[in-house]
Amino acid sequence: MDPDDESAALAHQQELDHEERGALDAMLDPDTWRQIRGSPAYWVSTHGQIISTMKRRPRMIAPIKSGKYLAITYWDSEHRRHREYVHRLVLKTWVGDPRPGQEAGHLNGNRHDNRLANLAWVTRQENANHRIIHGTVGVGASNPMAVLTDEKVRSMRADRIAGMPYYKIAAKYNVSTMTAHRAITRTSWRHIE
């Protein structure tokens, strides 16, 4: 290649790189987008979206389902791979790291709604309270391991008030005596009056 052609090609590439960077800067409004700390090729929006600028053209990262939440895999500036929940990335990037004992909470109960406005660092107890309020906690019959229903627990309690012994109530509802005792004495099934 002719040296003049080579320098012209290099100048043209630098111009394109500069134009792309300008377009990217315009697209990544600082009020809406921030870089992931330690990973300059990844950006997080207040809407819970992630963009990678590792390749020539920026691309939106599609999160994957990891358990009940959405997660992404990304690389830091030292080329180490990380997998993190999107809600935690949004909070770490926009709010900062959690204090000891804090976890990420989805304020509206939707685990896939990773907008900054829907997220907060909360204590474990606050998060548990949110799950109860939103009905996303497995309490009572909504627990996948439950063998009783709300109605059965009410009937068991009525049987006990009527004088039936725990072991007979357990046999009637096909549960262990301990399960019957816990449901009747409100050690479990506390949410049922």
* Residue 129: predicted pLDDT: 87
Domain range list for the chain: 1-30, 31-134, 141-184
Which residues, at least 6 apart from 69, have a Cβ–Cβ distance to it below 8 Å? 85, 86, 87, 111, 112
Q: Round the average pLDDT of the chain to a whole number and report it.
A: 86
pLDDT at 5 over 90: no
142 — alpha (psi -120 to 50), left (phi > 0) or beta? alpha
* Residue 54: predicted pLDDT: 84
pLDDT at 2 over 70: no
Mind listing the pLDDT tens digit for each residue in 10-68? Answer: 665 556 555 555 555 556 677 889 999 999 899 999 999 999 988 878 889 999 999 98
Higher-confidence position of 176 and 136: 176
Integer Cα distance of 164 and 176 in angstroms = 15
Percent of the chain with pLDDT over 90: 59
What's the sign of the alpha-carbon dihedral 12, 18, 19, 21?
A: positive
* Residue 133: predicted pLDDT: 83
* Residue 25: predicted pLDDT: 59
pTM for the whole thing?
A: 0.65
* Residue 9: predicted pLDDT: 62
Secondary structure, 3-state, 169-188: HHHHCCCCHHHHHHHHCCCC
Integer Cα distance of 10 and 176 in angstroms = 78
On whether the CB atoms of residues 63 and 72 are closer than 8 A, the answer is yes
pLDDT at 85 over 90: yes
How many C-beta atoms surround the C-beta of residue 95 within 10 A? 13
pLDDT at 165 over 80: yes
Architecture label for domain 31-134: Alpha-Beta Complex (3.90)
3-class SS at 117?
helix
